[in-house]
Amino acid sequence: MMPLTELTVSRHNPLVDPSLHIWGWQIAVYLFLGGLVAGLMIIAGVRLIAIRPSQREALVCCTIGPIVGLTGLSLGMFTLFLDLSHKLHVWRLYTTFQITSPMSWGSWILLLVYPALVANGLAHLPEAIPALARRFPVIVTWSDFILAREWLVVAIGLSNMLVGIALGIYTGILLGTFGARPLWNSAILGPLFLLSGLSIAAATLHGILIIHTPDDERPTFADFLLSSLTKLIEAHPLDPKVGPVLAGADNSFLTIEAALLILFLIGNTTSTSVHQQAASLLLGGPYTAIFWVFVIGMGIVIPLILQSLELANRIRHTLAPSIFVILGGLALRFVLVYAGQQSHWLEALNR
């Protein structure tokens, strides 16, 4: 007969009992947007360095990407602010640097993201959005200043890549360093969230490219709505040749992300009893269905198949894989944020 262990606790603190539920949609959305911005920065940085003056393609990556990134970052910081319970004291984050606190690292990294993204976006902004450049000629001056100096272009590209990698890994490490929550306590969360961010970013850029590409066979209402929004900024030219590059890159990111998820599950299921209990939340527990259907199925497997068919020219490029990847990335953050709070060391008492 199995020994009985029964705990009766008289504590009923809000957000803590009966199980921890301190973080909700705000943190999941913040981590998602952080990953998106990280991916956009890395792709923008790589493209900025790779573009030669005679080869002004892929502006979607190094101009539209930073604009989307700046918007996403601002939204993410706003959702993080919404989560704070002592909001008026938020400025305290920037009066100190706590070397052992991932959140302190993150708050300073977020400040570096703005100038890096602005500089990257400025480099080719006059070509991408001529109307804006005509209205504000100083943009042309800044762009010329950057493009006239090869070392500056390389520095901006490299800084975007490095800050993007730091931001992407930070969004995972933020959860991974909480030893009290066994499901989160894995170093794999850093690279997992980075790769997921890269795949979301590639899918977003791919989606923007598809919306921008004229196609008489479409437009559905959703396409019409989205294309109307992108036309507000009159971005052009977006080279459709970049589409397959982004789809191929996204497939690579998704494959590595799937491998990291498998390693994450192997790590938990072969570890201590509390980690096995934590993994069971995703393997037979309350989060199993949403994890396998939305994160793995919709977010990784279906887009991989669709994008592979697109790359093989069996089907045309559509918005579907982009939307699936974005929703899958969002689902990954929601599942891990909520399930992680339910995993606990109290399981160790069942000894």
Partner 1 sequence: MSRFAMVIDTRRCVGCNDCVVACKTEHGVPLGYSRDWITEELHGVFPDVRLEIRSERCNHCENPPCVSCCPTGASHIHDRGGVVLVDHEKCIGCKACLAACPYNARFVHPDGYVDKCTFCIHRVENGLDPACVSVCPTHCMHFGDLDDENSEVSRLLASRPYHSLIPEAGTKPCIFYLT
Residues in contact with partner 1 by CB under 8 A are 1-17, 20, 22-23, 83-87, 89-90, 92-93, 95-96, 98, 100-104, 106-107, 177-181, 272, 274, 341, 344-346, 348-349
In terms of CB distance, is 12 or 135 closer to partner 1?
12
Q: Which is nearer to partner 1, 20 or 70 (CB)?
A: 20
Do the beta carbons of residue 45 and residue 164 sit within 8 Å? yes
DSSP-derived secondary structure letter, 19: S
In angstroms, what is the minimal distance from the CB of 5 to partner 1?
5
Kindly tell me which of 59 and 169 has the beta carbon lying closer to partner 1.
Answer: 169
- In whole angstroms, the minimum distance from the beta carbon of 339 to partner 1 comes to 13
Q: Report the nearest approach of partner 1 to the CB of residue 24 (Å).
A: 11
**Residue 38 corresponds to which tokens in the numbers above?**
């990280």
DSSP state for residue 231 in the 8-state scheme: H
Complex with partner 1: residue 271 or 308, whichever CB lies closer: 271
Which is closer to partner 1, CB of 277 or CB of 341?
341
| φ, ψ dihedrals at 129, nearest 5° | -130, 80
Taking the least distance from each CB to partner 1, the nearer of 8 and 313 is 8
Handedness of CA 294, 168, 190, 202 (dihedral sign): positive
Residue of 163, 266, 246, 167 lying closest to 204 (CA atoms)? 246
Nearer to partner 1, 68 or 166 (CB): 166
- The residue (of 113 and 274) whose beta carbon lies closer to partner 1 is 274
- DSSP for 203-231, written as a single string: HHHHHHHHHHS--TT---HHHHHHHHHHH
Closest to partner 1 by CB, 83 or 239: 83
C-alpha dist (Å) from residue 259 to 36, 173, 188, 197, 263: 20, 18, 11, 15, 6
**Could you tell me if residue 336 is left (phi over 0), alpha (psi between -120 and 50 degrees) or otherwise beta?**
alpha
Tell me how far, at minimum, the Cβ of 263 lies from partner 1, in Å: 23
Rounded to a whole number of angstroms, the minimum distance from the CB of residue 110 to partner 1 is 12
Shortest distance, position 108 Cβ to partner 1, whole Å: 10
- What is the phi/psi pair of residue 256, to 5°? -65, -40
Residue 125 · residue 85 · CB < 8 Å:
no
Closest approach of Cβ 194 to partner 1, in Å? 20
Residue in the structure block whose two tokens are 């400040």: 111
Tell me, what amino acid is at 128?
Answer: A
22: tokens are 């301190």
Tokens of 127: 């070509």
The least CB distance from residue 170 to partner 1, in Å, is 12
Q: How many CB atoms lie within 10 A of CB 10?
A: 5
> Rounded distance, CA 35 to CA 301, Å?
20
Query: CB 95 → partner 1: shortest distance, Å?
Result: 7
